[in-house]
Every structure is written in C-alpha cells, then in structure tokens.
Amino acid sequence: MNTAPSSPERQALLRFRRNRWAVAGLIFLLLATVLSVFVPWMLAIDPNQGSDSPFTAPDGRHWMGTDIHGRDLFSRVMIGTRISLMVGAVGAGVSLIIGVGWGLVAGWRGGRTDAWMMRSVDVLYALPTVVWVMLTLTLFETRCVGWLSERWPSSIPAFRLAAMMVSLGSVSWLTMARVVRAQVLSLRERPFILAAQSIGVPPVRLMLRHLLPNLVGVILVYLTLTVPAVVLYESFLSFLGLGIRPPQASLGSLIADGASQLNPVRVRWWLLVFPAGLMALLLAALNGVGEGLRSALEPREGDGD
Amino acid sequence: MKSWQARLALIPVLVWVVATLSFFLLRAVPGGPFDRERASASREVEAALKARYHWDEPLWRQYARYLGNVIRGDLGPSLKYRNHSVNDLLGQTVPVSLTLGAMAFGVAMGLGLPLGTLAALRKGGWADHAASLLTLVGVCVPVFVLGPLLILILGLGLGWLPVALWGSWKTAILPTLTLGIYFAARVARWMREGMLEVLKSPHVQAARAKGLSETAVILRHVVPVALVPVISYTGPMLADLLSGSFVVENLFQIPGTGAFFINSFFSRDYTMMMGMVLFYSVLLQVLNWMSDLLLRWVDPRIRS
Amino acid sequence: MGPWGAVRALGLALIAGAWFFAGCSQAERADLVLHNGPEPETIDPQILTGQADGRIASALFEGLTRFNPTNGKAMPGLASHWDISADGLTYTFYLRPDARWSTGEPMEADEVVWSWRRAVTPATAADYASQFFCVRNGRPIVNGEIRDTSRLGAEALDAHTVRVHLENPTPYFLELAASRVFFPIPRRAVEHLGDQWIRAEPLPCSGPYRLLGWRVNDRFRLARNPHYWDAAQVTAERIDILSGDNPSTALNLFLKGEVDLISDRKIIPGELGPELAQRPDFHRFDYLGQDFIRFNTTRKPFHDARVRRAVAMSLDRPRITARITRMGERPSAAVTPAGAGGYQPPPGVPWDPVSARRLLAEAGYPEGRGFPVVEYTFNVGSRIYEQTGVEIQAMLREHLGIRVELRPLEWKTYLAEMSALNYDFIRGSWVGDYDDPMTFLDCFLSDSGNNRTGWKEVRYDRLLQAAAAEVNPQRRLGILREAETLLVTEAVPVTGLYSHVGLYAADPRKIGGIWPNRMDEHPFFSMRRIRP
C-alpha cells in the first residue's frame, strides 16, 4: 500500500462528514442560527408589538399564531431561538473557560494544589445547583442592578441576560474540570511534554501550546453535551419564574408559558407545539453533532456507513 | 488508611463547608422569613417574633448556636411552618421522596440498560431505533412538559391512571414514569456508548479467541466495562434527579421534600433550606462515594 | 450485573415500592374533599395570617360570632345573643351554656377573655393583633406601652357573659368577633404545650370539626365534632382538606371527581379562569380585594404629584380587565372595592390621556422628553402580573412617550424592595379583613406599616380619625369618601386598577351549603354533600 497517510484532523473530518445525523444536525444548527438572526430583521415584525387579535391560531398573517397580547408568535420564536442559542453558547463558553482552566492547572500542578482544587469541586458538587443559581440571580438582581441602573439604565436587560449566562455557566463547569484534569494527568507523562519541559519551555506556554491542542477533542465533546444542558436548565428556571425576563423571550420561557396549554379545558396548541418542537429539534441537532464529533475523534468498531 | 476510607471521612468536612457557605450566602439575599404583605401589628410584635427565633442575635452567634444544635441532631424549627420543626418535616417527607427516587432510578436502569445494550449489539436494528427515540424524548422534552402530557393522555384522556396524589401503587405509576423516562434515555445512551467502546477493544477479541460463547463474552467481559461510564454518570444524574423531582412532586402533589427544596428559598425559610442542603449534600456525597466504590469493583483498571 | 440483572433490579425496586404502599392504609374516600391551596404556615388561630390557614382554623374553632354562609355577615356563634349599648361602645355577649371543647371540657367566659389577652400580648407575636385596636387599650398593649393585659377592655362578668368596651363605635365589630384572632383557644392545652399547643393530641376544638390527622403538603383529616353546639346541622362525617400549590393539578383532581370543592382562586389556573367561569360548577363572585399600583413618592420622578396623576390618567383599565384578567373585574381607579360595607368609592382619576400629557409637560417633561427610564416592579407569582406589566408598558409609551422597563422579582425580594421604598412604581393589592372601607383606607395612614409609598399627609390622617369617631354611619361613610378622594384623585400615591373577582369550584349537584359572598367565607358547619 502506498497511499500517503492523511493527517488525523483530516481523517476526523472525513469521518464526521460520513455521519448523516451529524451533518444534518450541523446544517440545522447553522440554518437556525442564520434564520433567527436575519428573519425577524427582514420581516420587520416587532416581537413585542401587541395587537388587537390575541390568541389567534396560525393563519396567513401570523404563521405561528399570536399570544395573549396579540404578539406574533413566529417572531417571538425566532428571537427565542436566538436567545436560547446565545444562552447555550455563552453559558457553555463560561463553563468551558472555568472548567478547562481549573482542570489544566489542577492536572499540571498535581500534588497539594491538585488535591485542594479537586476537593473544591467536590464541595460544589455537593451544593445543589438550583440553590446556587437562585442565590446568584437574586443577589445580582438586588445588589448589582441598582448600581448598574444608575450608570447604564437602558442596558439593564442585557446585563440581566449576561448574569443569567454567567450563572448557568458557573454551575456547569464541574464535569469539564474533572475530565480535563484526568486528561492532563495522562498527557503529562507523554514524551513530547517531558521533552518540552526539559528544554525549558515555561509552564503557561506549555499548557497553551502543547497541552491544549490535545484536549480539543475531549473539550468539544463535552461542550456539545453542556450546551443542551444549559438550554434545558434555563427552561427549568423560566418554569420557576427566574429565567429570561419579559418582554424578552427564550425558547425555554416560551415553553414554560406554553406548558399551561396542556389542560383539558382549552388548548391553544400553537403556543406550545412551535416553541417545544423547535427546541426539541435544536437539542436533537446538538446531540447529533456531539455524537458525530465523538465518533469522528475517537473512532469505534461499527461506526461510519 | 485506604483512599476510599479517606473519602468517607472527608464527607463530614465537605458537608460542614457546604453548610457554612450556605448559611452566610442565604442571608446576603434581601427579604426575610417574617416579611409579609401585611405589616406586623406593631414593632413590639415584630420584635417578639424575631426574638423567638434568635433573629436579634449577632450572626456569628446564630451560626454557632445552629451548628451546636445540628451536632446534637436538632435542625431547628421551620421558619415558615411555625408548628413544625425541620426534623418533623424531613421525617415526614424524606421516605416519600426516597421511594419515588428509588423507583425512578429502577425504571431508569431497568429500561435504559437493556435498551442501551441491545442497541449497541444490534446496531441499526429495531432496538437501536427504539433507543434513539427514547433518547430523543428523554433528552429534548423537559420534565414539566412530559409530565402534563402523560397526565393528559393517560390520566384524563384515557382515564387509566390517577392524575395526582400519592398513596397507592396506582398513583405511583405516572410520577415514576415521568421521572424515569427522563433518565432512562440518558442511561441508555451512556450504556450504548460504553458498549460500543468496549466491543472493539483487544480485551474482547482475546476473550472471543479463547472460544467463549458470545453471551459469556458479553456478560462477563463487555458489560462490566461498559458500565463504567454509566456508573460515573450516576453521580451527576442523582443531582439532576433532585431538580426533576421538584417538578414531578409539584405536578403530582406528592408530599416529598421536593416542594421544600425550592419553596424554602422563596420563603426564606433558612432553617429548612439549610436542613435540605445538609440532607442532600450528605446524600449526594454518600451516593457518589458508593458509585466510586462500585466503579472500582467493576473495573480494576481505575485506581487514582 | 448485566442487562437482565438490571431488569431484575427494576423488578425488585417496583416490588419494594408496592410493598411500601401496601403498608399505607388505603383509607376510604372522605365525605367531602376540599382543595385548600398551599400548605398553611400554621393553623393556630391567633398567629395565622394566610387565607388557607384561616380556613382550616375556622373548621376547627369558632368565635363568639360566626359568618353567615350566604352573605358573610355575622350571626350568633359561641355566643347565642348580645346587647349593644346606645353609643355603640359596649357589647355584652352571652355565651352558650352548652359551649364545650371537643375533649369534653366546658368553655367559660374567663377562657374567652384569657384568650383575647394572650392574643394582644406582644410575646405571642400575633400579626393580626391589630384587629384588637378598636377595643379599649388594645393599641397600647399591642404596642408595648401597657404591660398589664388585664387592662384590655374585655371582662368576664360571670361564667357565661363577656363584656367588651370599645375605643370607638365600630360598626363592623361583630364581624371582627368572628375573625380568627378572636377565637377562644383551649387554656389547658396552652398551659401544657405553650406555643405549640396546636400540636396537642387530641386537640381540643370548638368548631364543627376536630382534627384527626395532619400530613404536611398532603392533607388534613377532619372528623365531625359531636360536642359542637350546632352539631345537629353538620352532616359530613369526614372531611379531607388537601394542600398543594399547583393549580393545574387541582383542576385535574376536580375534573376527575377526586376533589369536591376548590376554595381558593389561587389554586385555579389563572389563564383558564374566563373559560372555567362559564361552567356551572365554577362560581364567580365579587371579592373584597383590590389591585392597584403604588408610586414611590420619595424619589424622582414620582415625587411630583402631577407625574403620578399623569400616569394614572393614562392607564386604560378596561383594556387590562378585558384582555388580561378577563374575569369580569370592575376597573376602578380607587383603592376600595365598591359595595364594601355599603360604601361607594369615589371614581378616582379619570381616563384622560390629553390632560395627562398636559400635566406631564407642566411637570417638565413635554411629550415625555427627558423623562427617566422607570421600572415597573411586580412579583412573579402569576403570569397575569407580568402580562399587565407588558400592557402598562405599551400604554405609557403610546400615550405619554415614556419608557418603562419591567422588573419581575420573586416574592420576598418584592416585599423587601417595596418596604425599603426601592422601586419606581410597583404592583400591589389588598384584601379586606372585614367588610368595611376602613380596612383599605387605613393602609395609607402616615405611620402605617402598610403604606409603603413614602406618602405622609396629615389631612388624610385627620379625616380617618374623624371617621373612626363618627357615630352616624352615613356621615362616617361620607368622611371616608372625602379621604379617599384626597387619596386617589388629588395626591395619587396609589392608583387602583380593578376590583378582585373570586372564583371557587363546587358542583352544585354534589355540594350544598356554600354560597358566594364578598368575604369569601364558606363556613364548614353548613357544607354538606348532597345525596342523590
């Protein structure tokens, strides 16, 4: 055999491309992102504009019907998708930064530092996350908002959104930290690292230039697991009344509102079916991409077509 | 001292740290347990109420008093439910939640593990598709949508099952199913992952080469190793079970601890909140420690 | 441990569960099953404050008077009759000779007086002790100025007679005597168990039912009290009162027939209210409550009464009641609901966006220019509050050109911010303690803890004082109306939105002895199951 071996990255990409679900998922995600950004802007329908036709079923004018204020559900769902994706991405991003940083340092330093850092992770594991999130969100609302509203009053909703994303990210990094640490521990003994150390490469540079690239696979996989978890968590918070604030909407808050339509008296199905359906598709797509990434980066018997 | 013993001994320390953190953080949030829409009858009355619960003492003293009581096993009076102590409330509700949790766990395992195994073995077959469908439902549909849906269809529409309350085996079906499906999906996925991972390993090829029957290979060599990711997932899963149980208990009006979990924050019932945090952190720690132990027993390769 | 092992494990778990349940005795369905709403904080009649709490207490205990189930007015309870002096300041109650506790001991007048003295003692920490302010020395005792509770204006003339001396002629005193804080409590149990006397087993009860069992977040089990003086009228042997806080669940239970009566509107799904109200088994009624908006008069921009009036005049209240609440509430800019104690509230500020814009310009914000961004605060309890907020946002933007941000807060934070005057304008409501406008109007006295607007007006305080001292009922209502006009038309630290409408669920073919009334009192002695 004399074919030149292609690089591992190239091979991974090829494997990914062959996985139908993963590709479909990726396309859907890109489509959803693009549409949710551009469609409301193009159609120029204000998602917060009430009208005099509340609770109308889907028709030519309102493709997904209207809610109690007569607001067009389609544009709200588009905005909601945008915000949900943003919350998921940034939340996962925050957990990425904290988790990878934590795991890197703990795994690299080892010994005492490692022990303390991982014990803290254990402590945080033991603290029920819901309590933590409620605490931080309420503290932000009461302590920070007052201070912020004096300086930038019109950006308060943006700050709230940011606080929510940071808060969600801050409870999702634990598993990432553990996984990264385990990986670093095993990588640390590899010849190429030892060699770099012996020629005097400073630790920070080592971590960033040599360790990090090897962690990308694991990180990517956990990222695609974290994003759906964050999105669902936000949905749960909306259900409790702590999530995205009105008049902003996320898919999660739209679903939490729509859940009341599951009653035997009067079902306005469009208020639940559209947001929940879209969220289900998004999560399924995220999962598909995650699966695809995992099997692309760590091939197994029986994978591929 | 072996490391697993060390882990066990560490639990009280971790719980103490968690308790202290919670104690002080909770009080940083505005609003107190005695705030009501209607103002108190007089300052005297308000002061008397606060004095009764030692609210007028400096914080560090309240903390010391609380800690002293906890060591003696007294978690204090509930600040919201004035005629019950935290021990009372936990005593009444913990058995219910544990039962529900155990049954949901049983469903999750009993449904998820076989499905995940079959899906991996007969990749592309009906079991694989069934597992994918289950995964889709469990992962993409939030519990507070799945629950009312099941109630609407099975409880009201077809009328086969009770719509709420707790007390007979019939009432337990829907809540267990709601919570169980949510986790069965994840268990199935992890099991399938683990199985596929192991099936290609040289370990298994060797076993096959030895001439063992396929069943024996699977049961004795593949499954135990495949269980590793499932068992490591049980830790986070149990934590997740808590927030899921809140929704389910609220939806089906089940008198478990779930209701207190979140409502005690909303009512600033500090003692109840602390009691819950203590209880859950002990529970989580113990269960995590047990799953670590299980992991070690199942896969001797893991030692760290 | 393979997949089949897992199935075995599942089987074991389920069998264990089933065994656990078999252990729970499957009791027979009670004669009446009520859904009471959230678990009560306490059922001790002296310290309770919630409505759900009060309902349970009223099943187990009774006062000298009790509520008439058809109209919520007072009628004889533990006292069979009474005399009222001509000046309205002295009441003499005659206790029934056969009044006794469910444990058998007779109840006598000194126990009644002892109970009242305990209620006003600050150490008891009774939030509703303020109901005793109309009794002589009630206020100073509750405020701690007088330590000797025997100076309370109530005495036992003999074993069956209680005499009460009031500070002012109080036309609603008989209704007050029927309220929970005035219930006599069993002295022996309190001497035994102190503050936790309510956990006594058996609990001595004076009402139509006695307590069999209490399971938190599940139910109260009640049984008919044969020692109740009117036990002959009580037909239901067993009552189960469920506690839960999910309205959809309560509705499902009701529709399936497992719950006979839902007594609290909070436990009926708000979004379905209008649809449900059409059904014959759901009953809508005018309720003694009002929703309104408070303005923070201590900071800009609402420190200026012109701005407050402008905003109040731009609120399209009928639109809110037609689109959001949709239960046929009466839109109102006043703070008292119409008809409370025969009183007609003033109209409050009119709906007049043109004048509102003029006022706003006068105040220095022509067409809303320069007006700061303000926040409308509300609690996240019900979607209705959020939806109302969205409408208010739209209205103020349209009519005044001002920008409003929404600020949803969870309950305790909402209360804390409101008390700390840390808001711009905020949603509020009040439910009356007795059927008279005074219960609404005295919230806004300068020194009232319920004011929470920072508004202090001596003229208003004087008017209310004058009304309290006025004997003639018509003149009294006139003075109150004058005070309210000052409140909701001139100064406007608060502006009404609409009056509450209550809703309860009971199939009239199955349950009898319940009637809608403004006080939302459904006494247990008259409730009965209708046997076909």
In whole numbers, what is the pLDDT of chain C averaged over residues? 91
The closest of B294, B284, B292 to B242, measured between CA atoms, is B284
The predicted structure's pLDDT at residue C27: 61
pLDDT at A145 over 60: yes
Residues of A in contact with C272 (CB under 8 A): 260, 263, 265-266
β-strands C65-67, C74-76 pairing: antiparallel
Interface of chain C against chain A, CB under 8 Å? 248, 251-252, 255, 269, 271-272, 275-276, 323-324, 372-373, 375, 380-381, 383, 386-387, 389-391, 393-394, 403, 405-406, 408-410, 413, 416-417, 422
Interface test with chain C among B253, B257, B298, B299, by most C beta carbons within 10 Å: B253
Does the pLDDT of residue C459 top 70, yes or no?
A: yes
The tally of CA atoms less than 13 A away on the side-chain side of residue A300 is 20
Average pLDDT over residues A45-55: 73
Mean pLDDT, residues B215-238: 73
Do residue C7 and residue B227 have CB atoms under 8 angstroms apart?
A: no
Contact A260 C410 (CB under 8 A): no
Tell me the two tokens of residue B293.
């132990």
Question: Is the CB of B255 inside 8 Å of chain A's CB atoms?
Answer: no
* pLDDT value, residue B299: 62
Q: For residue B227, what are the contacts with CB-CB under 8 A and spacing of at least 6? A: B191, B194, B298, B299, C1
C233 sits in the region (left: phi over 0; alpha: psi -120 to 50; else beta) called alpha
Percent of chain C residues topping a pLDDT of 70 = 95
Residues of C in contact with A257 (CB under 8 A): 383
Q: Report the residue of chain B nearest A178, measured CA to CA.
A: B232
| Residue C442 vs residue B5, higher pLDDT | C442
Of A187 and B3, which is predicted with more confidence? A187
Which range has the worst mean pLDDT, A251-260, B193-202, C445-454? B193-202
Chain C neighbors of A241, CB-CB under 8 A: 380-381, 408, 410
Residue C25 CA to residue A58 CA, distance in Å, equals: 50
pLDDT digits (tens, 9 = 90+) for B98-141: 889 888 988 888 888 888 888 877 777 777 787 778 777 888 88
- Cα diameter, chain C: 88
Confidence of residue C13 (pLDDT cuts 50, 70, 90): low
pLDDT confidence of residue B1: 45
d(CA B289, CA B291): 5
Answer whether B44 sits within 8 Å of C122, measured CB to CB: yes
CA Rg value for chain B: 24
- pLDDT band per the 50, 70, 90 thresholds, residue C102: very high
Which residue of B lies nearest to C27 if distances are taken between CA atoms?
A: B167
Per mean pLDDT, which range of A88-97, A186-195, C20-29, C212-221 is the poorest?
C20-29
Per-residue confidence at A170, pLDDT binned at 50, 70, 90?
confident
- DSSP tag of C40: P
The C-alpha atoms of residue A202 and residue A210 are separated, in whole angstroms, by 11
Mean pLDDT of C188-197: 94
Q: How far apart are CA C356 and CA C396, in angstroms?
A: 10
pLDDT band at A92 (very low <50, low <70, confident <90, very high): confident
Single-letter residue type at C501:
V
From the CA of B81, how many Å to the nearest CA of chain C? Answer: 4
Higher pLDDT, C232 or A37: C232
Interface touch A153/C271, C-beta < 8 Å: no
Q: What was the pLDDT predicted at A303?
A: 41
Q: How far apart are CA B194 and CA B191, in angstroms?
A: 5
C106 pLDDT exceeds 70? yes
- CA closest to A256 among chain C residues: C383
Mean pLDDT value across residues C13-17? 63
For the CA atoms of chain A, what is the radius of gyration? Answer: 23
Helices (H), ranges, C314-410? 317-320, 353-362, 383-400
| Strand-pair category, C425-431 with C32-35 | unpaired
Look at residue A300 and tell me whether its pLDDT is greater than 60. Answer: no
Q: How confident is the model at residue B2 (pLDDT cuts 50, 70, 90)?
A: low
Q: Which residue of A has its CA nearest to B260?
A: A131
Q: Domain-by-domain residue ranges, chain A? A: 8-45+65-297
Q: What pLDDT is recorded for position C1? A: 44
Amino acid at A277: G
pLDDT > 70: percent of chain B: 95
The predicted pLDDT at position A103 comes to 87
- Whole-number percent of chain C with pLDDT over 90: 80
CB pairs under 8 A between A and C: 65
Answer yes or no: do A141 and C373 touch at CB < 8 A: no
- C437 cis-preceded (ω within 30 degrees of 0): no
What is the fold of A8-45+65-297?
MetI-like fold (1.10.3720)
pLDDT value of position B141: 86
Measured between beta carbons, the chain C residues lying within 8 angstroms of A54 are 323
Q: What is the mean pLDDT of residues C174-178?
A: 95
User: Residue B281's pLDDT is what?
Assistant: 80
> Quick one: which of C390, C505, C82 has its CA closest to A245?
C390
% of chain B residues with pLDDT over 90:
17
- Are the CB atoms for C332 and C348 separated by under 8 Å? yes
CA closest to A254 among chain B residues? B145
Between B28 and C36, residue with greater pLDDT: C36
Report, as an integer, the average pLDDT of A93-117. Answer: 85
In chain C, which residues have their Cβ closer than 8 Å to the Cβ of B118? Answer: 3
Measured between CB atoms, does B148 come within 8 Å of chain C? yes
Examine the pLDDT at C55 and tell me if it is beyond 80. Answer: yes
Contact present, C500 and C287 (Cβ < 8 Å): yes
In whole numbers, what is the pLDDT of chain B averaged over residues? 83
B22/C239: higher pLDDT: C239
**In C, which residues are within 8 Å of A157 by CB distance?**
405
Are the C-beta atoms of B178 and B143 separated by less than 8 Å? yes
Pick the more confident residue, C371 or A159.
Answer: C371
Q: What is the pLDDT confidence band of residue A137, given thresholds at 50, 70 and 90?
A: confident
- Report yes or no: B73 at the C interface, CB cutoff 8 Å: no
User: Comparing C442 with C2, which gets the higher pLDDT?
Assistant: C442
* Per-residue model confidence (pLDDT) at position A302: 40
* List of chain C residues whose C-beta atoms are within 8 Å of the C-beta of residue A264: 251-252, 255
